[in-house]
Amino acid sequence: MALGRLNHVGVATPSIAASIEMWRDLLGAEAIGEPFDLPAQGVKVCFIDAPNTQIELIEPYDEASPIAGFLKKNPAGGQHHVCFEVPDIHAAVAAMKAKGATVLGEPRIGAHGTPIVFVHPRDTGGMLVELMESHA
């Protein structure tokens, strides 16, 4: 399985609203999407377009959010994961497992409306990696 396009960098934040201000006023972001809730994945999401990828701002939807633990350790938020595109999520899961990596859960629909999975950071040098099926 070849390394695919970097679809987005996930950035955890305690406040999407505050993060939008920083990305816009300090870093010059111009294409900022409308925040939306993704309760099935326990997050609120806002995509910020960069020329060749996106920033995915993620805020806990509730206390059970999978990023709640991360924000306890990093109260100001920070870089949470990176997401690479794959042509076939099931083939990607099989390839990861065949190489001994831990895939977290089953493929589920992510913020772009396509199937995603996560590979445990212990298998990826400490960086949480998301794989997202994309046919773009």
Catalytic residues: 130
Residues that bind Co ion (CB under 5 A): 10, 56, 83, 130
Residues that bind ligand LZKTLF4L (CB under 6 A): 10, 38, 41, 43, 56, 58, 66-67, 69-70, 80-81, 83, 104, 110-111, 116, 118, 121, 126-128, 130
How far from each other are the two terminal CA atoms of the chain, in whole angstroms?
Answer: 17
If 0-12 CB within 10 Å is exposed, 13-18 middle and 19+ buried, where does residue 25 land?
Answer: exposed
Residue nearest to ligand LZKTLF4L (CB): 110
Residue nearest to Co ion (CB): 10
- Going by C-alpha positions, the residue among 45, 2, 34, 4 that lies closest to residue 131 is 4
Say if CB 115 and CB 87 are below 8 A apart.
Answer: no
Looking at beta carbons only, is 25 or 34 nearer to ligand LZKTLF4L? 34
C-alpha 17/C-alpha 40 separation (Å) is 21
Looking at beta carbons only, is 20 or 83 nearer to Co ion? 83
Looking at beta carbons only, is 10 or 60 nearer to Co ion? 10
